[in-house]
Structure 1
Amino acid sequence: MPAENTPARPLRADARRNRAAILSAAQDAFAAEGLAVPLDEIARRAGVGAGTVYRHFPTKEALFEAVVLDQLERLAEQAGAARGAADPAEAFYAFVTGLVADAHVKKDLADALAGAGVPLSAGTMAASAALRHEFGELLTAAQAAGAVRADIDQADLHALVLAALTAERHRDDRRRPGRITALILGTLRPGPN
């Protein structure tokens, strides 16, 4: 049987733990220092040897994309779980607020990945599409419940989330955290704005 048709063996428990530690350390390192952080530093932060990092991720770009893929998959899973909530309005607004609250890290990674000229794999593109789908389903449910203006579409929502993301990243107001997000999200609600 050719190697390409052989299913990948599942990782041992210690290898899964190491991979998770590497991804977590890489996410923090890339968010703080960008793509310039050496893989050896990520290994140190993860508490593993450099060889362990290279076994899981042969290049820094592969590790970087794995971090982005991991984040997209987790967000799509969270959005999917939120779809089953009893209150679609609460689920929608909680998801959007959480997305923007954590997005300074995600946005930095996505910007750096795009700026580094790293091509996105089919898996990353599929995870991005899954997130857009789940987010769209949350929007549709919230609109059906009368909690979001009917004239808002996914493109509008995407633009508003990016605006909130950018505003929160550049506005350092410790007395009123999330204020810009709240103002932007207020434009989604039905009624006079």
Structure 2
Amino acid sequence: MAVGGSDGESAGVTRRRAPRVDAIRNREAIIEAAADVLAEQGTAVDVREIARRSGVGMGTLYRHFPKKEDLVHTVLRKDFTEWAESARQAAIDAEDPWAALADFYRQALAGSARHRAIMENFALTWSTPDLDGINQLRVVLEELRVRAAGLLRPGVTTDDLLLLLVSLGHAVEITDECRPQLWNRLLHISLDGLRADHHEPLPGDAAPV
């Protein structure tokens, strides 16, 4: 009898430790609502708005994400990973190496303009790097640089391309409300400067992240 009772107790503990279906559903609803709100309003959003849209109480939200920063990081990591993989696949599928590089920048910057939280955090990527995010970008840009090697001016490195993306991301952040699409003009100027017909040596070295 004692053995049977022990088994029953163990099964009960296992059941209690397993995530409940409603808990999983609540977490997914919170993340989905947070993704929408962060894209619309940026990281300054009130978490009460996220709770309202997800249909859960504040207590439930805090059980899943004790700090607002935890929720923001989870959402941005998910959105950023999906975006980076999409950009990488688009670059792989493109036949023209220069068009692939230019389209990657346009897609990246247009995407950050539509997602306020990514736009706000994009400019911080270099000074306070999320190593996973940086590495995802570097993989894409390294592939693009290698493919376009004969079309790029001598000396251009993957870190040059990465820092250019972060810099233009900052330009999106500070100009998007007052002068939308100005970043597209700056991108055109920047891409022209990357072309191989510029032969003068580049100053200094690109510092790695």
Pick from 35, 50, 54 the counterpart of residue 24 of structure 1: 35
Segments of structure 1 that go 5 or more residues without pairing to the other structure are 1-7
Structure label with greater radius of gyration: 2
SS in 1 for 2:93: coil
Pick from 38, 43, 57 the counterpart of residue 51 of structure 2: 43
Compute the displacement of 1:10 (Å). Answer: 10
Root mean square deviation of aligned Cα: 3.7
Pick from 171, 176, 195 the counterpart of residue 167 of structure 1: 171
Aligned to 2:161: 157
CA separation of 1:109 and 1:52: change in aligned 2, threshold 3 A? farther
Could you tell me the TM-score, scaled by structure 2's length? 0.65
CA separation of 1:135 and 1:125: change in aligned 2, threshold 3 A? same
Is residue 109 of structure 2 the alignment partner of residue 100 of structure 1?
A: yes
Aligned to 1:187: 193
- Percent identity over the alignment is 26
CA distance in 2, matches of 1:10, 1:139: 47
Pick from 70, 79, 82 the counterpart of residue 71 of structure 1: 79
CA distance in 1, matches of 2:68, 2:101: 35
Q: Is the 8 A contact 1:96 1:161 kept in 2?
A: yes
Q: Is the 8 A contact 1:100 1:165 kept in 2?
A: yes
Q: Is the 8 A contact 1:43 1:50 kept in 2?
A: yes
Could you tell me the TM-score, scaled by structure 1's length? 0.69
Segments of structure 2 that go 5 or more residues without pairing to the other structure are 1-17, 200-209
CA separation of 1:86 and 1:169: change in aligned 2, threshold 3 A? closer
**How many correspondences in the alignment?**
177
CA distance in 2, matches of 1:65, 1:161: 21
